[in-house]
Amino acid sequence: MKFSANLGFLWADRPLPDAIRAAGAAGFDAVECHWPYDTPAHAVSAALQDTGLLMLGLNTRRGDVLAGENGLAALAGREAEAKRAIDEAIAYATATGTRNIHVMAGIASGGAAQTCFVGNLRYACDQAAAHGITILIEPLNHYDAPGYFLNTTTQALAIIETVAKANLKLMFDCYHVQLMEGDLTHRLQRLLPHIGHIQFASVPERGPPDRGEVNFSHVFEVIAALGWQAPLGAEYKPSGATETTLGWLNSMRGGAP
């Protein structure tokens, strides 16, 4: 089993290029991030080249964070701003060789939000396709992201089918899915053709995967048996220095590709 370090949480106290190098030194197979835009793309590319790691994914901007915004793509009336955020993400991903972009929906509800989200996702997919980039959407739980437009894999699958673009996939975050829906392994089996990336963290504290209510050793075995080859994203919040939380990394690699 291969693993990717999500640098939105792991080594978050370091500049992004330094965090990439720390992930490489720790033995991760890839990295991913949240919002890298304050770091010049050439600095990220240099760190990736130094370590031989791939950047698997990044997010579109959230909007006005101080005002509580958490994405733009489902905000009716903000389409122009959402498209600028999509264009920015595609440009940064192209410059850094990043494979996936998570288009963040935002805090919204209702039919107008659905129509807006679908339209912006079609735009994102069309623009990203020329660069070989996959667009991801991710259901977020209503404890950590109250009011977020996208909450369940069922809702996400319906949107994916409506948008009907080959490069639109589901970001299956085991932490969010367990809190909202549970039944992780059956959902993984059923949704596998639609999944573009898998992430994990313990439930309910969002810590390393060697604790909490989910047996991730078993979940990872199921994922491997399904033939999944890409690195799984470690998107958890370390309680102290990241290095002190990595005891799971080697122990959970066994018995999988």
Q: Which residues are annotated as catalytic?
A: 138, 235
Question: Among residues 199, 194, 139, which one has the least CA distance to residue 167?
Answer: 194
How buried is residue 145: exposed, middle or buried, by Cβ count under 10 Å (0-12/13-18/19+)?
buried
d(CA 8, CA 199): 13
Q: Where are the beta strands (DSSP E) in the chain?
A: 3-6, 30-32, 54-55, 57-59, 100-102, 134-137, 168-173, 195-200, 232-234
Chain centroid to CA 21: how far? 20
* Helix (DSSP H) and strand (DSSP E) numbers for the chain: 9, 9
- Residue 105 · residue 117 · CB < 8 Å: yes
Question: Which parts of 45-144 are beta strand (E)?
Answer: 54-55, 57-59, 100-102, 134-137
Rounded-to-integer distance, Cα 103 and Cα 169, Å: 11
User: Which token pair is 145?
Assistant: 């992201």
User: 3-state DSSP call for residue 135?
Assistant: strand
